[in-house]
Structure 1
Amino acid sequence: MKKTFNWPAVYLALVFVILYAPIFYLMVYSFNSGGTMYGFESFTWDYYIEVFQDTRLLIIVLNTVIIALLSSLISTVIGVFGALAITYVKRQRNKNTLLSLNNVLIVSPDVIIGASLLILFTFIGIRLGFTSVLLAHIAFSVPIVVIMVLPKLQEMSPTLIDAARDLGASRLDVLTKVILPSITPGIFAGFFMALTYSLDDFAVTFFVTGNGFTTLSVEIYSLARQGISLQINALSTLIFLVTLVLVIGYYFISKKSGAGLGMGVPK
């Protein structure tokens, strides 16, 4: 039998090469002692040392992590209750309206979201800085969490809730002991997606950040405008590695959560 060439695999490999080649190029030259991205001279850690010796940059990193963690936690809580509201609303028309409003925020350009939030914060008198950036990150993270949690709610059998109510469980018991454990993988997925979006966001943050407060994405943009510096490469490499660790961590957590849920189902 004649063996056919696996064109889909070749196409997929080509896509990954196109996507990841610039990232690896940037990472390789973060170790270049020559100070340029045109010819690799010798290996050095100097630019990574500069990153960790830059006190202002470390403060910006701390700001970015705090914003990402706080916005992810708050948006996860809001997103879970938003997904519950969409799932258990009675009228289909209202459900479709809520879903459409949620999806519009996801597909809207970041520039439009950033500009509208800037106008809103200026109108209601919120000073641009930590608070405005936190609120903006919560705003664009909530729809992501909703999208991640909704499929898990739809997969959950309604008979579980009916059985819990028949056994005398209160609404709080149903929520904490039946619904939330069943959708835990979706909650973790929403949290990690919100975390990575917050860490990487530039467009929205650029609009709502103020003097004296900034995040890594905005700082990297400012550094890049000043000219080529391999310190940017080193910083970008560290961000990429942190994001990669988060993705791998989510994979193992979701895998473990799925196995735990499977073991808990009576046979």
Structure 2
Amino acid sequence: MSKGTRWGKVYLACVFVILYAPIFYLMFYSFNSGGTMYEFEGFTLDYYGEVFQDTRLLIIVLNTLVIALLSALISTIIGVFGAVAIMYVRRQSTQNAFLALNNVLIVSPDVIIGASFLILFTIVGIKLGFISVLLSHIAFSIPIVVIMVLPKLQEMSTTLIDAARDLGASNRDIMTKVILPYISPGIFAGFFLALTYSLDDFAVTFFVTGNGFTTLSVEIYSLARQGISLTINALSTLLFLITLALVLGYYFISKRGNTGSVKGAGRP
């Protein structure tokens, strides 16, 4: 092992420690019977029990899951057709323009996006609540799906479509029986990423929530402002584990898709 490679691994390990140490610190003290984050006195699951006994909190969790699933599903459908449309634009300059517009929401700060949606909904007359949060999550999830689906479309050989046309397939058959099955790993990856982003989002949701409707991330922020409570630790731990499960699901689906592509490319 070269010296540069060894120092690179050390640097990477330090980055991961800095990123994950606060999370594991929070998770560790969610089991502290002492009620503080200064000294661990004993193991308890009482704070997790408080989370599941809080009816209002469970309703907020349900709201968060409904928003995440609906926004991920709708944004995946729109994003897939958007990626197909961008892929088959004939002029390269027009295609680059659409890609640039698609990437604006990804690179823009969440605060600016949230404030923009707040102004838009106020002008249009949409009341802040379930609908405003759902529309916002759909909007910032669509570019994520497009980015995940486009590489699979670019990998697909045009000869597959030509062969389908030669066999008499209609445009609908080509879409449903050729294109969609081929890019399905990208579709699932985009869905899981959109779901993860929706579950974790705070900045955009903070601007567009209202009328008694809130999500888990906003509720955790509100609870944290009231003072230190290990119930927050337990709630944050559950949210982190759900997000981790979704990310791992995305990873395995992407890995399976890449493996399938390699095997398909190796067939005569």
User: Identity across aligned pairs (percent)?
Assistant: 79
1:131 paired to 2:116: no
Query: What is the CA–CA distance in structure 2 between the aligned matches of 1:83 and 1:203, rounded to whole Å?
Result: 27
Query: What is the CA–CA distance in structure 1 between the aligned matches of 2:212 and 2:37, rounded to whole Å?
Result: 31
CA RMSD, 1 decimal? 1.5
- List runs of 5+ in structure 1 lacking aligned partners: none
Name the stretch that deviates more: 255-264 or 132-141: 255-264
Deviation at 1:253? 2.8
**What's 2:202 paired with?**
202
**What's 1:173 paired with?**
173
**What's 1:111 paired with?**
111
**What's 2:49 paired with?**
49
**What's 1:61 paired with?**
61
**What's 2:218 paired with?**
218
- Equivalent positions of 1:90-169 (< 5 A) are 90-169=90-169
Query: What is the CA–CA distance in structure 1 between the aligned matches of 2:257 and 2:111, rounded to whole Å?
Result: 36
Deviation at 1:264? 5.8
Query: What is the CA–CA distance in structure 2 between the aligned matches of 1:179 and 1:70, rounded to whole Å?
Result: 24
Amino acid at match of 1:217: S
Amino acid at match of 1:243: T
**What's 2:29 paired with?**
29
1:187 paired to 2:187: yes
Query: What is the CA–CA distance in structure 1 between the aligned matches of 2:139 and 2:2, rounded to whole Å?
Result: 52
Deviation at 1:204? 0.4
Decide whether aligned partners of structure 1 residues 98 and 141 sit closer, same or farther in structure 2, where only a CA change above 3 A counts.
same
Secondary structure in 2 aligned to 1:228?
Answer: coil
Amino acid at match of 1:182: Y
Query: What is the CA–CA distance in structure 2 between the aligned matches of 1:129 and 1:250, rounded to whole Å?
Result: 29
Q: C-alpha offsets along residues 175-217 of structure 1, whole Å, 9 cap, x if unaligned?
A: 1111111111111111011000000000000010012100000
Amino acid at match of 1:184: S
Q: C-alpha offsets along residues 20-61 of structure 1, whole Å, 9 cap, x if unaligned?
A: 100000000001111111111111111000000000000000
Q: C-alpha offsets along residues 121-168 of structure 1, whole Å, 9 cap, x if unaligned?
A: 111111111011000000000011111111111111111111111111
Secondary structure in 2 aligned to 1:31?
Answer: coil
Decide whether aligned partners of structure 1 residues 3 and 211 sit closer, same or farther in structure 2, where only a CA change above 3 A counts.
closer
- TM-score w.r.t. the length of structure 2 is 0.95
Query: What is the CA–CA distance in structure 1 between the aligned matches of 2:263 and 2:151, rounded to whole Å?
Result: 21
- TM-score w.r.t. the length of structure 1 is 0.95
Runs of 4+ in 1 over 6 A off after TM superposition: none
Secondary structure in 2 aligned to 1:8?
Answer: helix
Question: Does the CA contact (< 8 Å) of 2:72 and 2:194 recur in 1?
Answer: yes
Number of aligned residue pairs: give it. 266
Question: Does the CA contact (< 8 Å) of 2:193 and 2:250 recur in 1?
Answer: no
Deviation at 1:82? 0.7
Decide whether aligned partners of structure 1 residues 3 and 257 sit closer, same or farther in structure 2, where only a CA change above 3 A counts.
closer
- List runs of 5+ in structure 2 lacking aligned partners: none
Name the stretch that deviates more: 67-76 or 102-111: 102-111
Deviation at 1:263? 5.6
Amino acid at match of 1:55: T
Query: What is the CA–CA distance in structure 2 between the aligned matches of 1:217 and 1:12, rounded to whole Å?
Result: 29
